Amino acid sequence: MNNIQKALENGQSIWLDSISRDMLRSGELQRIVDLGVTGVTSNPTIFDKAISESDIYDEALIEYARDGADRQTIFERLAVEDIRDAADVLRSVYDAAGRRDGFVSIEVSPTLAHDTDGTIAEARRLWAAIDRPNVMIKVPGTPAGVPAIKTLISEGINVNVTLLFAIKAYLAAANAYIEGLSEFAKTGQGNPGSVSSVASFFVSRVDTAADNALPEGHELRGKVGIANAKLAYAEFNEMFDRKPGGGGSFFPLHTAGAQVQRPLWASTGVKNPDYPDTMYVDGLMGPDTVNTVPEATMNAMLDHGNPGAALTEGLEGARAQIDALGRAGVSLDAITSDLLTAGVKSFADSYETLLGRIEAKLGLLKV
């Protein structure tokens, strides 16, 4: 077994944080799935890279522009096609996993991060356009995103909650899933186990921000991101308690066949070259989780990763590290708040860059 397959055996799914039409047509995505990867995530930056580095989209760009579509509509049509095709590649994984894995994620427009109704409307439209059961719609875990998550889950739409940095935001996302799933179950629309969700908790960006706030050589440098994630994982285990007699609000749903909302570790490419390149894979391995990795991290994991159960160990040490961060004069609450603001802006900026890329390509193609 390779390290991706060992991770799956340990209860963690590895998803690839990349997609392109070239990967789909060349068979590269199928090769990666054959290695054990069980999902794919996308965002505007990934699509921008795919469109800028290849001419494989040119024919479709010309066709859609001649149809009179604006650049937003052109992008959505391109993205829907790629996500649908990727979902078809992963459908066998989805079926074999009993609808618990094998997903492809697509993001609502980042410009809707503070617009609940707009997020719901776009998520519904994307869900209907792609028309695949193994798709997740990415919704930011902002205050406006939380009620959208509840509504979408209550309608049986799979949701990948993104841009989670703070424990408080994670808890809000998890509660929205449980409340939405409870509503879905009451309506009798179907088996609660048919609805899936992950909560994408960002890691390396937390370390970057904490490291910048700490003195050179401080013992907490490179420790805060994983410690924060371990505390979120502890909250997950408490909220989604499935032991007989579990008293949490999820337990009745569990007995009806509902799935847990798995924590997904995002931003797990190592940004500091002084840190091991598999740090956020090895350090966050544990049951009922997903790790979405860029291709370079996936290859590093295959080559020299160390699959185990590090996520289930050292919880008290993680609490001590977060406490020590406060004593060092660094506020984790301030860091996570700033990261959410910056993350929303970064995603929106990437979206505008992508639309500009499409416009520039159309100019070069003389459409």
Catalytic residues: 138
CB distance 34 to 9 below 8 Å: no
Nearest-Å Rg of the Cα atoms of the chain is 20
> Cα 302 from chain centroid?
21
Rounded to an integer, what distance in angstroms lies between the CA atom of residue 326 and that of residue 332? 7
Rounded to an integer, what distance in angstroms lies between the CA atom of residue 51 and that of residue 20? 8
Residue with tokens 């004593």: 327
Rounded to an integer, what distance in angstroms lies between the CA atom of residue 314 and that of residue 309? 11
**Non-local CB neighbours of 79 within 8 Å, separated by 6+ positions:** 42, 47, 106
